[in-house]
Amino acid sequence: MAGRAREVVERVLRASREGDVEAFVELMAPEGYIEWPFRPAGVPGRVRGRADVRRHLIETAGTLITFDEYRDVVIHETLDPEVVIVEYDAVGSVVATAEPFEQTVIAVFRVQDGLVVSYRDYINPLPLMEALTGGAGNR
């Protein structure tokens, strides 16, 4: 089961990096959610359900930033076969200005029956906020 959860998370990361909203949403449970405990202003704390996740990815995130690559990805399988923790650096740019940024991310996924039921995305919001305001987007 843990290997299966890892495979699902790897597919989520690939869909996210490639901007493939439909592939991403298909990997979410019908009432699954994404949560950002630390986030820039204007980003909701939680988005629940496939329709709202799709809308957020298209209307908010998709118009704001793009990702070029995820660097130094480390995937941790845990004693709980449903939980996978991922560490990586997200490298991207602001859509409107092409201002680059790189932010450190730790994400905690819970996968049940091959679908993500929770995705807690602990991003470092400072580089993104700097990039959005025209500053240097370094960690």
- What confidence tier does 27 reach under pLDDT thresholds 50, 70, 90? very high
Would you call 35 helix, strand, or coil by DSSP?
strand
Structure tokens at 15: 């869909």
With beta carbons less than 8 A apart as the criterion, state whether 24 and 12 touch: yes
Strand partners, 105: 88, 123
The residue that leads in pLDDT, 33 or 129, is: 33
- What confidence tier does 137 reach under pLDDT thresholds 50, 70, 90? very low
The residue that leads in pLDDT, 113 or 38, is: 113
Per-residue pLDDT tens over the stretch 45-78: 999 999 999 999 998 766 788 889 999 999 999 9
- Quote the mean pLDDT of the chain: 90
Domains of the chain: 2-132 (3.10.450.50)
Residue 118 is predicted with a pLDDT of 99
Closest CA to 28 of 8, 10, 46, 42: 8
What HEC string does 63-80 produce?
HHEEEEEEEEEEEEECCC
Quote the radius of gyration of the chain (alpha carbons, Å): 14
- Other beta carbons within 10 angstroms of residue 50's beta carbon come to 17
Is residue 23 within a helix (H) or strand (E), and if so which, with residue range? helix 21-26
Residue 2 is predicted with a pLDDT of 56
Least confident range of 35-39, 94-98, 121-125, 132-136: 132-136
The residue that leads in pLDDT, 130 or 136, is: 130
